[in-house]
């Protein structure tokens, strides 16, 4: 056999398949393990740690999940409140971000104005600033402004902070997409008497729906997964917690680890569902925006 044939067989064949299987297992198994532990009782996990079969009785009754979702005064962990907060914060952040950034991205690609370069570079630079550097002054500022008092104000404050990081990303992603749409289409509309904003609404937006979808999904996921700012602004007020804080608080000695895993599954499911349905958009968005992670 020639060297080429040997390499084709061992490296291109055997080694490649081993690699594929290893990567697959490394990425899939932790999520299976998470699900598995949420469907076993902590006693049986301690007795038989290597058992990879769920307890079907717990799968049927969803007991661990019920415990996690139940309100605190009924002895549960109150996750329903966290889910509501997380959904609210993420959806509002996504809606405002899209609303503002679509027209802003249009302005940044199609219109001429003084300071255009400054705006474009400034937004990119903002992307590079560490969150923890901004966290301290914002924490102090929010304390002084009373945005760390009641639940609505805390959540409002959180949304505003999220906007400061999602707006530049969304603008950047949409801008790079708008640049690929031929100007001629709009020029025709402008000559026919459309205003700029009508051209945006009737031509650019319908043509960019895939990009808008992927930007929206991306922004939603940023807000849904965010941990540091939620920790800083919400910690003392349990009713304002978002899901990441809720899951973090399950990480104590008093709570069985199976419940920690159930909480982790709850926070992961929406992301995986969105990903499964809109994979094309999300994958496109990841590479288009150079999305932070």
Partner 1 sequence: MSLFSRGINSSATPRLTLAQQEERLAYRLLAVPVTVVVLLVILPLLWNIFLSFQELRLIELQKLSLWAAEFTTRNYEKVVGARGFITLLRTTLIYSLFGTILPLLLGLTAAVLARDAFPGRGVFRSILLFPYIAPIVATVFVWRMMFNAQFGIVNEWASMLGYPRLSYFSQRYVDLHLFGTTLKWPLALSMVIIFSGWRYFPFSFLFYLARLQALPEDLYEAAKVDGATLTQRFWYITLPQLRVVTATLVLLRFIWTFNKFDDVFLLTGGAAGTEVITVKIYDWLFGRADVGAAAALSIVLAIILAVLLFIYFRYFFVEEEV
Residues 138-157 that bind partner 1 (CB under 8 A): 138-141, 143-144
CB atoms within 10 A of CB 233: 24
Q: Is 228 in the site for partner 1 (CB under 8 A)?
A: yes
Number of residues counted as binding partner 1 (CB under 8 A): 94
Q: How far is CA 197 from the centre of its chain?
A: 30
CB of 271 to partner 1, least distance (A): 6
DSSP symbol at 12: I
Contacts of 86 (CB under 8 A, 6+ apart): 224, 242, 243, 244, 267
Specify whether the CB–CB gap between 268 and 188 falls below 8 A: no
Residues 231-270 that bind partner 1 (CB under 8 A): 243-244, 247-248, 251, 257, 260-261, 264-265, 267-268
Specify whether the CB–CB gap between 189 and 203 falls below 8 A: yes
CB of 195 to partner 1, least distance (A): 9
CB of 31 to partner 1, least distance (A): 6
CB of 49 to partner 1, least distance (A): 4
DSSP symbol at 269: H
CB of 269 to partner 1, least distance (A): 10
CA distance 101 to 36: 41
Q: Is 189 in the site for partner 1 (CB under 8 A)?
A: no
CA distance 52 to 40: 10
CB atoms within 10 A of CB 254: 5
CA distance 145 to 139: 10
Q: Is 187 in the site for partner 1 (CB under 8 A)?
A: no
Interface stretch with partner 1, choices 1-9, 57-65, 72-80, 175-183 (CB under 8 A): 1-9
Q: Binding string to partner 1 for residues 30 to 59, with x set by CB under 8 A, is what? A: xx-xx--x-------xx--xx---------
Among 56, 60, 113, 254, binds partner 1 (CB under 8 A): 113
Interface stretch with partner 1, choices 57-65, 69-77, 201-209, 277-285 (CB under 8 A): 277-285
Among 41, 63, 103, 239, binds partner 1 (CB under 8 A): 103
The token pair that represents 197 in the structure block: 């904003």
């Amino acid at each position: 056999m020639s060297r080429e044939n040997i390499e084709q067989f061992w490296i291109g064949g055997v080694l490649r398949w081993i690699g594929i299987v290893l990567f697959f297992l490394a990425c899939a198994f932790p999520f299976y393990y998470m699900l598995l532990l949420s469907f076993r009782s902590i006693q049986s996990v301690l007795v038989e740690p290597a058992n990879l079969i769920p307890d079907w009785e717990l799968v049927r009754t969803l007991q661990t999940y019920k415990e996690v979702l139940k309100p605190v005064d009924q002895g549960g962990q109150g996750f329903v409140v966290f889910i509501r907060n997380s959904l609210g914060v993420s959806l509002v952040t996504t809606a405002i971000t899209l609303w503002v950034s679509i027209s802003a991205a249009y302005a940044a690609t199609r219109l001429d104005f003084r300071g255009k370069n400054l705006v474009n570079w400034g937004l990119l630079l903002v992307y590079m600033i560490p969150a923890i550097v901004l966290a301290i002054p914002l924490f102090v500022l929010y304390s002084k402004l009373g945005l760390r008092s009641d639940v609505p104000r805390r959540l409002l404050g959180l949304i505003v902070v999220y906007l400061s990081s999602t707006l530049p990303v969304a603008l950047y992603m949409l801008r790079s997409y708008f640049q690929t749409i031929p100007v001629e289409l709009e020029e025709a509309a402008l000559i026919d008497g459309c205003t700029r904003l009508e051209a945006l609404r009737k031509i650019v937006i319908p043509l960019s729906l895939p990009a808008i979808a992927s930007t929206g999904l991306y922004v939603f996921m940023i807000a849904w997964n965010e941990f540091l700012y939620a920790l800083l602004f919400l910690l003392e007020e349990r009713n304002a917690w978002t899901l990441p804080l809720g899951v973090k608080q399950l990480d104590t000695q008093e709570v069985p680890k199976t419940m920690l895993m159930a909480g982790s599954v709850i926070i992961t499911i929406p992301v995986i569902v969105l990903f499964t349905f809109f994979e094309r958009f999300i994958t496109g968005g990841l590479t288009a925006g150079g999305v932070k992670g």
